[in-house]
Amino acid sequence: MTDLPAPRISDLARAQSPQSAPQSAAADYLAGLNPEQREAVETTEGPVLVLAGAGTGKTRVLTTRLAHILATGRAKPWELLVVTFTNKAAREMRERIGHLMGPSAEGLRWLGTFHSVAAQILRRHAELVGLKSSFTILDTDDQERLLKQLLEAANIDTKRFTPKSLAHMIDHWKNRGWTPDKLPPGEDFANGKGPALYAAYQARLATLNACDFGDLLLHNITILSKHADLAEEYRRRFRYILVDEYQDTNVAQYLWLRLLTSSTGNVCCVGDDDQSIYGWRGAEVDNILRFERDFPGAKVIRLERNYRSTKHILGAASALIAANQDRLGKTLWTEDDSGDKVRVRGVWDGEAEARLIADEIETARKQGMNYKDMAVLVRASFQMRAFEERFLMLAIPYVVIGGPRFFERAEIRDAHAYLRLIQSEDDDLAFERIVNTPKRGIGDTSVQRILHIARENGVSAMRAVRHLITTDELQARTRTPLANFVRDLDRWRDLMAMGTPHWQVTETLLDESGYTAMQKADRTSGQTRLDNLKELTQSMQQFETLQAYLEHVSLVMDLERRDENADGSGSVQIMTLHGAKGLEFPLVFLPGWEEGVFPSQRSIDEKGVKGLEEERRLAYVGVTRAKQDARISFAANRMVYGRWTSQLPSRFVDELPLAHVEPQSDTGYYGASTGMKEAKSRWDDAPSFGGGYSSPGWKRAQTYTAAQTPKPAYARRAVIEGEGRLIATADPKATSGWSRGDRVFHQKFGYGHVRAVEGNKLVVTFDKAGEKKVIDTFVEKA
């Protein structure tokens, strides 16, 4: 996070009253603040909402405000309640206060995360919710083991309704502040058994003198709600309350704060409604939007001067977020007039996008920029694969932040283990990994025995299994699932031998093995894993055989093991947009700005307009991570399950202002999917063609077309009814059967003539729609 430097005020620690605070010291610690920051620091009395935009020095304001309260004698350190969202943020704030205040900062007893502060309160009053002060806090593994016992006791299928999914559901209920007796209609699990399971779980926790993390706040709410005198005591104790990242609070955190704060109390909440991006884990942006209603007479202070980004980046981000209706409103500005416009690039497909970004990274590196100063921010983890492979090929060092690399993910390794075992029965490592994944009732003891027998007889584990399932050396309960496993492998191997494409066999084995169902049952990260598996099968289509694909994976994994930081310039960072919040980089790449990808179709389907607005806030966060240079890209086509899918550029692309954007596209497709076919796009008159898709053949086609006819003015891409996209079956390696001059018909663009051919990509001049570039399977002979 970008903050202005603050000097140490060593004599602040000795200040006990407004009169005793040295004027020179006050001038020192306030001198570096801009007028809005200073107002946020000095407005100490009553409710205050500080709307701190990206890069406006929020942390500097928070720590200086605390120092100011202590330096002027308004409160003692133990009379302050300071709440953050992460332990890292709490540590950073404590260090900064210590730097300003010296030893007296050690008296800040109530500075920490929501859960750590709530745990302190619960320890003091545990008996009020049936616990002892020595209660334990269960970790995730203990919680899931306990829930598994309860599910089995209730005769519920733990494969269909997993302990992890129940834990996720209970966490959701606790984040909403619901106890078992207050679950509203519609909140359920396992066909009506949710409330009973929740109640049984809470009862079991009480018996064990334990709680989970959700209980820390939930029990606090129960105690403070039922004991008004105790709540009032805490309100008197905490003379000043400061809350960081208020836009990310959930319902339980909001209720907890309201119980500790009177409507006229000295509470200061700092946050940015435009950066509320965690609705998927319970955050309620309405908490910050209704602050003035919750605290009548509250003062709202806007920090709008940005110290991070250039004017073009801020101009693009501000225009983008302005399309949201539910926001308090602010406009970031900067005195930095340098920097280029935000670049927006349209490319043919995902592979072309990876090539473009890799080339631009290499160019930036040659110009002196370190790899560590560049970041690729994606909407979903499945998008990372293409960039990882391209970076490995070009020896561009990179690191995936917030998760393993694509080929190191558990679900990808599992799928590869199945494929390796199909290719070779002698692969004992693959056998050991997936013989009981998903669960087949083949325990670890049985697996180790099989491996022992195989080693003793000098054969592979699979050969040993084929022998053991015909004898009585293993129990029947183990032989049966092993026999089924062998039968399945043989069937999938036969499919491959009969010529079924290897990627289709992969889809089949994932479904028939129960692996897909296992991921669908996981309500926490199962969908992300399924998306990664879809990306896997898509990437396999580039290889003619399974052997060729597995050899490619081996080479990729070998490249990953090489030294990445030999030149000391660090690594390009790849991460999701959610993981990038709070970070900053000189150069930021934002790929995949296409409808259905970003904004996420799933988010829109589940939450409607509210989901769309959160997606737009995520786009705003992404753009404002860039300090000097932001580059956005979208692809016109994606290969999904052997079908070319024609992608619409994201509506966010169309919302970017041309005054701050430099657009270019290889596809001739500008504009976005507003949902209105006749709506005119601001991109209609944008310049066409640029770098990006760079194959020699395609360049020749462009040159030839340009020489034959004047360059047309490209019309906005049509918005297609239904799903908003065109789908046609195509082989990515196919050679088109079309020739220049052929008369064609397109369902949306009408009649036209083929002007140029490159593989299965056509340049067609349509009678009414002008020149378009389409996949050959989108047209038919006229």
Catalytic residue (choose from 36, 215, 245, 360): 245
More confident residue, 203 or 692: 203
Q: At what angle do helices 384-393 and 350-366 cross, to 10 degrees?
A: 50
593 burial (CB, 10 Å; 0-12 / 13-18 / 19+) is: buried
* pLDDT value of residue 239: 94
CB 52 within 8 A of CB 243: no
Catalytic (active site) residue 245: yes
Q: Tell me what pLDDT residue 35 has.
A: 94
In the residue annotation, 372 being an active-site residue is answered as no
d(CA 548, CA 554) in angstroms, rounded, equals: 10
What is the spatial distance between Cα 650 and Cα 97, in angstroms, rounded to a whole number? 43
User: Could you say which of 327, 343, 625, 761 is catalytic?
Assistant: 625
| Beta-bridge mates of residue 299 | 48
Q: What is the pLDDT of residue 90?
A: 85
Q: What mean pLDDT comes out for the span 75-103?
A: 86
Question: Which of the residue ranges 9-13, 149-153, 640-644 would you say has the lowest mean pLDDT?
Answer: 9-13
pLDDT band (50, 70, 90) for residue 569: low
| 680 part of the active site | no
CA torsion angle 439 444 450 453 (round to 10): 180
| Span 265-290, pLDDT tens digits | 899 999 999 999 988 888 899 999 99
Identify the pLDDT of residue 286: 93
Task: Confirm whether 60 is a catalytic residue.
Answer: no
| pTM for this predicted structure | 0.72
Residue 744 Cα distances to 733, 741, 755, 762, angstroms: 22, 9, 11, 11
How far, in Å, CA of 740 to CA of 707, rounded? Answer: 14
Q: Which tens digits make up the pLDDT trace of 702-724?
A: 443 344 333 322 222 322 223 33
Distance CA 503, CA 518 (A): 20
Flag whether 534 is marked binding.
no
pLDDT at 552: 80
56 is in an annotated binding site: yes
Cα gap 468→473, rounded to integer Å = 6
The predicted structure's pLDDT at residue 560: 58
pLDDT at residue 46 tops 70? yes
Least confident of 145-149, 476-480, 696-700, 713-717: 713-717
Do the Cβ atoms of 740 and 754 come closer than 8 Å?
A: yes
| pLDDT recorded at residue 735 | 53
Neighbours of 183 (CB within 10 A): 17
54 is in an annotated binding site: yes
| CA dist., res. 419 & res. 425, Å (int) | 10
Query: Nearest Cα to 667, choosing from 345, 346, 344, 343?
Result: 346
> Beta-carbon neighbour count of residue 700 at 10 Å?
12
pLDDT at 509 over 90: yes
Give the pLDDT confidence score for residue 547 in this predicted structure: 87
pLDDT at 7: 41
> Which is catalytic among the residues 3, 36, 37, 59?
59
The pLDDT of residue 561: 53
Q: Domain 407-521: which topology? A: PCRA; domain 4 (1.10.486)
Q: Please write the tens of the pLDDT for every residue from 165-220.
A: 999 999 999 999 999 999 998 888 888 899 999 999 999 999 999 999 999 999 99
Res. 377 pLDDT band, cuts 50 70 90: very high
For residues 779 and 747, the answer to whether their CB atoms sit within 8 Å is no
CA distances from 673 to 69, 151, 541, 722 (A): 51, 46, 29, 12
At 343 the pLDDT is 95
Name 750's bridge partners: 746
Lowest model confidence (mean pLDDT) among 339-343, 541-545, 564-568: 564-568
Would you say residue 693 has pLDDT above 50?
Answer: no
Going by their DSSP bridges, the two strands 342-349 and 80-84 should be labelled as unpaired
pLDDT at 736 (0 to 100): 61
Residue 511 has pLDDT above 90, yes or no: yes
Is residue 684 over pLDDT 90? no
Residue whose token pair is 């970041």: 375
Residue 392 has pLDDT above 90, yes or no: no
Q: What is the pLDDT of residues 324-371, one digit of tens each?
A: 998 998 999 998 888 899 999 999 888 899 999 999 999 999 999 999
Band of the pLDDT at 668, cuts 50, 70, 90? low
| Residue 660 reports pLDDT greater than 60 | yes
> Would you place residue 565 in the very low, low, confident or very high pLDDT band (cuts 50, 70, 90)?
very low
Report the pLDDT value the prediction gives residue 563, as an integer from 0 to 100: 43
User: Does the annotation place 196 within a ligand binding site?
Assistant: no
Q: Are 330 and 302 in contact (CB under 8 A)?
A: yes
**Per-residue model confidence as pLDDT tens digits over 731-773:** 334 456 788 888 988 876 788 889 888 777 788 888 877 777 7
Res. 582 pLDDT band, cuts 50 70 90: confident
The 10 Å CB-count burial string (b at 16+, else e) for 200-230 is: bbbeebeeeebbbbbbbbbbbbbbbeeeeeb
Provide the CATH topology of domain 138-207: Arc Repressor Mutant, subunit A (1.10.10)
- From the list 162, 275, 383, 423, the catalytic residue is 275
All structural domains of the chain with their residue ranges: 31-135+209-305, 138-207, 342-397+569-665, 407-521, 742-781
Domains 31-135+209-305 and 342-397+569-665 equal at CATH topology level: yes
**Highest-scoring range by mean pLDDT, 227-231, 451-455, 560-564:** 227-231
Q: How confident is the model at residue 491 (pLDDT cuts 50, 70, 90)?
A: very high
Count the helices and strands in the chain (H runs, E runs). Answer: 30, 22
pLDDT of 422 strictly over 80 = yes
Residue 582 vs residues 82, 275, 328, 371, 611: alpha-carbon distances, Å:
19, 10, 20, 19, 21
> Which of the residues 3, 215, 244, 373 is marked catalytic?
244
Q: According to the model, what pLDDT value does residue 96 have?
A: 85
> Rounded distance, CA 68 to CA 48, Å?
15
55 annotated binding-site participant = yes
- Would the pLDDT of 726 be above 50? no
pLDDT bin (cut points 50, 70, 90) of residue 611 is very high
Q: What is the fold of 342-397+569-665?
A: Rossmann fold (3.40.50)
- Domain 31-135+209-305 classified CATH 3.40.50.300? yes
| Nearest residue to 251 (alpha-carbon basis) of 217, 226, 223, 227 | 217
Q: Which residues contact 149 (CB under 8 A, 6 or more apart)?
A: none
The single residue of 3, 36, 37, 58 carrying the catalytic annotation is: 58
- Higher-confidence residue of 641 and 86: namely 86
Handedness of CA 446, 452, 456, 458 (dihedral sign): positive
Q: What is the pLDDT of residues 5-27, one digit of tens each?
A: 444 443 433 333 333 344 444 44
Residue 705: the pLDDT is 37
The confidence band for 690, taking pLDDT boundaries of 50, 70 and 90, is very low
Is the pLDDT higher at 651 or at 727? 651
pLDDT of 154 over the 90 cut: yes
Please tell me whether 350 is known to bind a ligand: no
Contacts of 206 (CB under 8 A, 6+ apart): 130, 131
- Residue 66 above 50 pLDDT? yes
CA distance 670 to 267: 48
